[in-house]
Amino acid sequence: MKAYKIPEATVMRLSIYSRFLHQLMLEGSETVSSGEIAEGVGVSSAQVRKDLAYFGEFGTRGVGYKVDELYGYIMKILGLDRQWNAIIIGAGKLGSALALYQGFADRGFNIKAVLDINPQIIGARLDGIEVEALGKLAERVKEQAINIGVITVPASVAQEVTDQLIQAGVKAILNFSPRILKVPQDVVLRNVDLSVNLEVLSFNLALNHR
């Protein structure tokens, strides 16, 4: 792995390729070409090859890629050859929905704890997990060896819980609150801003409706 600076877009596409390859495995395909992957996920074949070239040479000229092998390589590159432990802060509608989302467990992400500050919600059960008090944050992060914090609290308290997560040693944060969070250099942060996404649609609709 000669990885140094990999474009984020490349990483996102690798995730998508891996799902496509998984699909092919279920269908029993043995080999696949960059062109077929490209067709399947909606990018160019050169793009597929360039993305893979960041990490090595996985194919055979004249033939293509062995589906299961390539799948294994990508899963390893993405760090999905192991399990990750996540904690969800905020057990409102969105936090609860994420806690119960099967897609996470399927890819090796285990929700180990769900916290909230609202006494009305604390104690509720989500599948196998009980919603606990926010005060348990540091304790749960340590005890469950949490790698990833998921933030689904209102914007007003998002920075505060982020600081607590970082204080407790969490190095990766997925933020669903509509708030720009400040984190140290060594903490990875990704934002999923639902309103921004809708507003990009609105912009495009408005362009046409003029």
Partner DNA sequence: GACTGTGAAGCCATTCACAGCT
Partner DNA sequence: AGCTGTGAATGGCTTCACAGTC
Q: Which of 17, 21, 24, 59 binds DNA (CB under 7 A)?
A: 59
Using the minimum distance from each CB to DNA, give the nearer residue, 22 or 50: 50
User: Should residue 79 be labelled a site residue for a second copy when binding is judged by CB under 8 A?
Assistant: yes
Residue 157 binds a second copy, judged by CB under 8 A? no
Q: What is the Cα–Cα distance from 178 to 155, expressed in whole angstroms?
A: 6
- Min separation Cβ 59 and a second copy, Å: 21
9 binds DNA (CB under 7 A): yes
From DNA, a second copy, none, which one binds at residue 27 (CB under 5 to 8 Å depending on kind)?
A: none
* Ramachandran quadrant class, 192 (left: phi over 0; alpha: psi -120 to 50; beta: rest): beta
Contact yes or no for 137/165 (Cβ under 8 A): yes
Q: Does 44 bind a second copy (CB under 8 A)?
A: no
Residue 32's closest CA among 44, 51, 17, 12?
17
Q: What span, in angstroms and rounded, lies between the C-alpha atoms of 44 and 99?
A: 35
Q: Which is nearer to DNA, 64 or 149 (CB)?
A: 64
Tally of CB atoms within 10 A around 12: 11
Nearest residue (CB) to DNA, 8 versus 106: 8
Site membership for a second copy, residue 72 (CB under 8 A): no
Report the length, in residues, of the chain. Answer: 210
> Which spans of this chain sit near DNA (rule: CB under 7 A)?
5, 7-10, 33-35, 43-47, 49-50, 52-53, 57-65
